[in-house]
Amino acid sequence: MPTEVFGQEKSMFFVGGRGNGSGGVAEAGGCTQTWWDAEVAASDAATALAKLMGATGGPLINNSNLDYTHSTKRIDAASPGDFTNVEVGMVAYVTGLYLTTGRYKITEAYDDYIILSGIVSTADYNDTVLVIGGAFNVLNNACDKTDASNHSVAIHTNLSETLAGAITISSGGRSVRNTFKRIAGYNTLPGDMNRGGVYYQSPFDILLAGSIDNAKTVLLDGDGNNFEILNISDDNLVIENIHIYNTGTAAAIVYAGTPVDIVFRNCRISACNRVSNTATSDVTWDSCYTHDDLVANYNILSGGSHLFLHCVAKLNAALNWIHATGIHIDVIGCLVAGSGNYGIRPLAGAALFMTNNTFYNLAVAGVGASTHDDIIAFGNIFALGVGATAFDFAVQGSMSYNDYNCFIETDGTPLNVGTFAAGETPVMGPHSIAADPLFVDAASGNFRLKATSPCRRAGKLTIGAI
């Protein structure tokens, strides 16, 4: 059955693309994932990108008034040889009378004509618009004009943008098909901001540097105009290497309709009101960083489960990192530092699993729970401010496992492990320690453990995030 590339196989699209991205267009083409993988294997990503678009991201072909033949699904070039550099597996945007506007895989390519066997049409047309390859001019267009419900779609952007409104992300993947829409930032070539890439900056590197390097992320700037950067209304999304910035009084992200299966990887959030306070479920935050210039409690979570993995949060004064209501959250290998009040607040039936995290200098508690369900905590360092408490419980709730943790105040005195006016107070656990964890240089944000740290347990679980 004739259909767009989205109904046939995995596909790739670009925003900005090459150079400064000034050649990007509102209706870009792209390529299949198979074409891209083969080109990279045969040469490299730079060569593949250059085949697909011009030096500033413009399309390989951008013509109108072309002849389309319905019976053969053929589009003729305007001049002989125009299609010499077009290849099977590139994706063309096509529109015209009697044609169903869409993005179609090129299935045959010749110097003077191409065939798109998937194209949907009813008659010949001699004023066809054809765009092959190239990059989109803005991320919002790429998100709006791609669909991952049948096959995964990758959108690679190297274009930092100052926005006039929120980027709306819909037509995501489907849980039942294991398809995803992936939006990934890059500097020069796709993948170079990923972990291990030339332009990778880990959240711990950001903490050490004290600032976010925007050469190592793609900046989406709200310009302080009080709207969210991302408005997400569909499932199965992966968002990588993006810096969400400057939303004024708005949250960084708004979820509409409780979407599920969302992954944020190597993203940064700064100069926003908060991260989010709308419901979603099955969300993973992997190696993400939140700065200490947010002005409200960072993550207000509801809807369903959340996982925080290897994240760093630098807390602003008197604020909290996570509030979770009625859901399950996992916090693994994270670092929470700064002058905030609480690290994690499980509320109203929330359950928490936490391991190998480091909490530093918080003023009130590492975990402040109220009417929670259950907490499991092991392998964590609580090096909190003077007079703080590791676990501060109110009203009701349980803690079924609490061991192999380290408790200390930042002045070197013992930390109060727990308080619970309505029940039994949490205690250390038989394998926990009350000792200085011996960070390399906590004052400078280096929370690695010295070789002599009591939290380094040879052959056993190391306590702490780093």
State pLDDT tens for residues 60-118. Answer: 999 999 999 999 999 999 999 999 999 999 999 999 999 999 999 999 999 999 999 99
- Residues 258-281: what's their mean pLDDT? 98
Mean pLDDT computed over every residue of the chain: 97
Return the DSSP state at 450.
P
pLDDT at 2: 72
pLDDT at 421: 85
- Phi, psi angles (nearest 5°) of residue 153: -125, 130
pTM for this model (two decimals): 0.97
pLDDT of residue 1: 54
The pLDDT assigned to 256 comes to: 96
Q: How many CB atoms lie within 10 A of CB 249?
A: 12
pLDDT at 466: 74
Looking at the predicted structure, is the pLDDT value of residue 295 above 90? yes
- At 408-465, the pLDDT tens digits run 999 999 999 999 988 999 999 999 999 999 999 999 999 999 999 999 987 787 899 9
- How many residues can be counted in the chain? 466
**Distance between CA 243 and CA 298 in Å, rounded?**
16
- 236, 261 contact by CB (below 8 A): yes
Q: What is the pLDDT of residue 460?
A: 80
CA distances from 112 to 66, 68, 89, 266, 313 (A): 11, 13, 17, 44, 56
- Of 83, 235, 18, 34, nearest to 147 by C-alpha is 235
Number of H helices, E strands in the chain: 4, 40
Q: Report the pLDDT averaged over residues 272-282.
A: 97
Judge contact between 146 and 173, C-beta under 8 A: no
